[in-house]
Amino acid sequence: MNSLFEYWRELLRSILGSFAAIFLLIEAIEVLGLGDINLSVVQFIAIILVPGIVVFLVDGCWISGFLKSEVKIPNSVNDTKIKVKFGDLFEQEGWKAIAVNDFFDSRVDEDLVSSKSLHGFVLNTYWADNRIDWAKQVTSSLNGLTSKLETRSKGKGNKRRYPIGTTARATSGEQKFLFVSLGETDLTNNETSANAEMLISAVRGMVAEARAACSMEPLVIPLMGTGLARIDTKESVILDLIIAAVLEESRNGRVTGAINIVLPKRLNRKINLKNSLRNWSHGQ
């Protein structure tokens, strides 16, 4: 459950609502001559706080859902468990999906790959001293797949461009990754961009590769497309697009035992998981 301190506004609203209701009840009893209610300050505060906290918890967990930190998305296609939750991507077990540009560049120089992207973070964290190993694993995984030779105006970076959705495997110690082409690179300035259609294609391509790679290990998917890929839409819409792509690709065959979509904790004020569950419960 998310930290209660982050929801002080909702808690205050619940307490004030309880105060108003209890105050009106007490006034009504006295006006109707049903008796006098004498309460100490401590008793009065307790009577206000306890119902207020109860209302806050019930609303946060079951009605509005703003306290939900994990939900299970209905899956009528097969028995794969699909969950959406807030958490740390790199603390999860299983194969982790990482979006990259369509050249699968490995140079983190704020031009080809940004250190602020998940792609850059993974390279700097797990292949900091052995970037060649990452390039070898990716090249081997991409061997034989469709690509196109391109000329890049700045004269650096990989020369082969791969279709959106192309996915390569690479591992470092116990960490296992599926690097999927999502961002389309501008040959003149190396900036990447993507749209909703590309996101769906990328997720479906990655899930298809995960079917062969995971071997019943969990597949872990971050909220791809919200960073340097520059998909111009709300985070909640991007989440729905990812879920839709996962479910659609699952129709082609069971992927693995569990698929976990992991959202950054900082988005818990922007994405209401109860709403997502409600939307997909109605859509199944």
CATH of the domain at 77: 3.40.220.10
Whether residues 141 and 4 share a domain: the answer is no
> Do residue 131 and residue 244 come from a single domain?
yes
Q: Say if residue 131 is in the same domain as residue 232.
A: yes
Other C-beta atoms lying within 10 Å of the C-beta of residue 243: 22
For the chain, what is the domain count?
2
Say whether both 121 and 215 belong to one domain. Answer: yes
93 and 46, same structural domain?
no
Q: Residue 157 — φ and ψ, nearest 5°?
A: 95, 170
Together in a domain, 152 and 194:
yes
Q: 9 and 79 share a domain?
A: no
Measured between alpha carbons, how far is 128 from 105 in angstroms, rounded to an integer?
14
> How many other β-carbons are positioned within 10 Å of the β-carbon of residue 13?
15
pTM of this prediction?
0.81
The domain boundary, picked from 12, 28, 63, lies at 63
The span from the CA of 68 to the CA of 274, in Å, is 7
Q: Do residue 176 and residue 128 come from a single domain? A: yes
Is 27 in the same domain as 123?
Answer: no
Residues 191 and 82 placed together within one structural domain of the fold: yes
Q: Which residues pair with 84 in a beta bridge?
A: 71, 261
One domain for residues 26 and 165? no
Residue 9 sits in the same domain as residue 86: no
Domain boundary (46, 63, 80) is at 63
Per-residue confidence of the chain (284 residues) as pLDDT tens digits?
445 556 667 778 777 888 788 778 777 776 776 666 677 778 778 877 888 788 777 776 666 666 678 899 999 889 899 999 999 999 999 999 999 999 999 999 999 999 999 999 999 999 998 999 999 999 999 999 999 999 998 889 999 999 999 999 999 999 999 999 998 999 999 999 999 999 999 999 999 999 999 999 999 999 998 876 668 789 999 999 999 999 999 999 999 999 999 999 889 878 888 888 888 876 55
Q: Which domain holds residue 44?
A: 1-63
